[in-house]
Amino acid sequence: MQRSRDEEFSAFMAARYSVLLRTATLLTGAEARAEDLVQEALLRTYRAWRRIGRLEAAESYTRTTMVRLLLKDRRRQWTGELPAGRLPETPQPGHEDAVATAVAVRARLLGLSPLHRAVLVLRFYLQLSEREIAAVLGCSPGTVKSRASRALAALREQGPLVSVRGGERGPHERLSGAAESERGRDDG
């Protein structure tokens, strides 16, 4: 007795879904996108089941469909939501203050030249040594020191960073204090 289209397709899906999902994950780089890609490809495979003819050709057809859908999706450059594996943390009290301060610091950094901004980010955010920064920027450690000094002076000229919570020093002052303590260290 000949099996129905639904039975054949269900057997194919049960046997090959995990392999197709692994392939899609490698193609997309994200598990949620991979699942969407496999589901869309399987839907198209189901619609073409009679034309495919042989069960052995179904996997090849589905893989080809996945690749074509992926390329079509990339050409379209869809920028929709990206599902997360887990929900983000729930904001705690004081979270708004930290976010407002971070936004203010970023705005101040954007007021600097890209080179000065790079030196400060490399030095105080990534905590690279002056030698490491010099290697990244292709200059001498002395040049890194002078650029950091000028960048911190430019931040000071912009005036105090108004802290969300009264009495707390602004991040640019923390950077200035960090730079002063750096003068005592011998990086190179």
Whether 22 shows a pLDDT value over 70: the answer reads yes
pLDDT of residue 102: 75
The reported pLDDT for the residue numbered 119 is: 81
Please give the class, per CATH, of domain 95-184.
mainly alpha
In the block, tokens 């971070």 appear at: 102
- Residues above pLDDT 70, as percent of the chain: 72
User: Any idea where the domains of the chain sit in the sequence?
Assistant: 5-76, 95-184
What is the predicted pLDDT for the residue at 17? Answer: 94
* Torsion-angle region of 77 (φ positive above 0: left; ψ -120 to 50: alpha; else: beta): left
Residues ≥6 apart with Cβ < 8 Å to 131: 141, 187, 188
Longest dimension (CA), the chain: 87
What confidence category does residue 94 fall into, taking pLDDT thresholds of 50, 70 and 90?
A: confident
**pLDDT the model gives residue 163:** 53
Whole-number mean pLDDT of the chain?
A: 76
Q: What is the pTM of this model?
A: 0.41
Residue 104 reports pLDDT greater than 70:
yes
pLDDT tens readout for residues 40-72:
999 999 999 989 877 778 988 898 888 878 767
pLDDT-derived band at 162 (thresholds 50, 70, 90) equals low
> Higher-confidence residue: 88 or 121?
121
Q: Which of 7-21, 123-137, 164-178 tops mean pLDDT?
A: 7-21
